[in-house]
Amino acid sequence: MKKILANDGIDNIGKEILEKAGFIVDTNKVPQEKLIDIINENEYTVLIVRSATQVRKDLIDACPNLKIIARGGVGMDNIDVEYAKQKGIVIINTPAASSHSVAELVFAHLLNLARFTHLSNREMPVSGHKEFNALKKKYAEGIELKNKTIGIIGFGRIGQEVAKMAIGVGMNVLAYDPYVVSAEIELEFPFLKRKLDVSIKTEKIEVVLKNSDFITLHVPGGCIITKKEIDQMKDGVIIINASRGGVINENDLLNALNSGKIRAAGLDVFENEPHPNINLLNHPKISVSPHIGASTMEAQQRIATELSEKIIQTFEKIQIHS
C-alpha cells in the first residue's frame, strides 16, 4: 500500500508530486509516544521526518510495514540509520537542497554580531525614541567582514556555500575537513551571465583556529569546540554554529564570552532542543535563532521536490524486486 506519513510536514509541491504518483500523503502531526500505533493502524509504508521526530530501534522493530524512512534535510542523527538498513528499510535524505539557506543564515548571524543589530533591534523599540544618541554611540564600534578571514570547519556542501558568500563579500577563506583535501568552488554571477571556478585547499584545524577572525561550523555532530580549541583561537573571534547542538561545548562558550576571549557567537542549534539553556538565549553577546537554517520557502520547496522524486524512484525499485 502506498501510504505516507509526513510527520514533520512537507511542502505542498512535494505532496502534489507524490499524490500524482498514486501515494496517499497524510501530514497530521503525530506525537512521538503515539507514532508506533498510528503507523501500524494506518499501514504506512513511508515515514517522512525532519529533525523533530525520532526514529529509533523501538519504532523500527515495531513497524514492520515501513519500507522507506525519508529525512527532509541533511543530518540524520534523529534516525538509527544503520539499524534501519539492517532491517531492509531504505533511508533517503536531501543533502543539497538546503545548503544555500543555511549559508545565508550564517551570514545573517555574522552581520548581526559584527554590527550589534541583534541588540539594537531589542533596545531601539524600547528606548530609541528618547535615547537615540546614546544608542548610536553604544553601537558605533562595529566591524566589517571585508578583508577578514573566515574559518570554515566542515567543508562539505554547506561549508562550500559559505565559502562562496565569503568570497563575494571580500573575505579570506580557511577551511578544515578531514575528508576533503580541496574543493572547486563555482561562483555564479547571474547579472554577468558567467561563472568563475576557485580552488580551495583545506588546512589543519590548528591553522584554521589560530588564523580566523570568524569561525563557522558545518559538521554532522560530535563535540568539536571545547576550551582546548577556544584557547587556540584569536582573541575577539566571532563563532557561528548552524550545524548541530553540542558541536560547541556550551559551558566553555559561555566562559569564553564572559572573559572576552570570544567576542560574540551566533547559535541556530542547541544541546537541549527544544529547551535550550536560558543563559545562552539571554546573553548579550549571542545572536540566536530557533534551528531555522533550512527553513526558507525556497529550501522547503527544493527539499520536498527532491524527497518526493527519490521516494517515487525508490518505491518503484522496491516493487520490481519484491
* Pairing state between β 194-201 and 182-189: antiparallel
Backbone angles phi, psi at 195, to 5 degrees: -130, 155
Q: Give residue for cell 566591524.
A: 143
Gap between the terminal Cα atoms of the chain? 13
Q: Is 255 exposed, middle or buried, given 0-12, 13-18 or 19+ CB atoms closer than 10 A?
A: middle
273 belongs to the catalytic site? yes
291 belongs to the catalytic site? yes
Q: How far is CA 70 from CA 4, 73, 113, 153, 207, in A?
A: 10, 9, 35, 27, 38
Q: Of the listed 118, 244, 263, 302, which one is catalytic? A: 244
How is 178-192 classified by DSSP, letter by letter?
Answer: TT-SEEEEEEEETTT
Closest CA to 288 of 57, 92, 48, 105: 105
List, in order, residues 6 or more apart from 114 with CB less than 8 Å away: 142, 143, 144, 145, 238
Q: Tell how far CA 212 is from the center of its chain.
A: 21
283 belongs to the catalytic site? no
Q: Of the listed 104, 131, 203, 273, which one is catalytic? A: 273
Element (H, E) at 152: strand 149-153
Q: Of the listed 71, 157, 291, 302, which one is catalytic? A: 291
Q: Please identify every residue annotated as catalytic.
A: 244, 273, 291
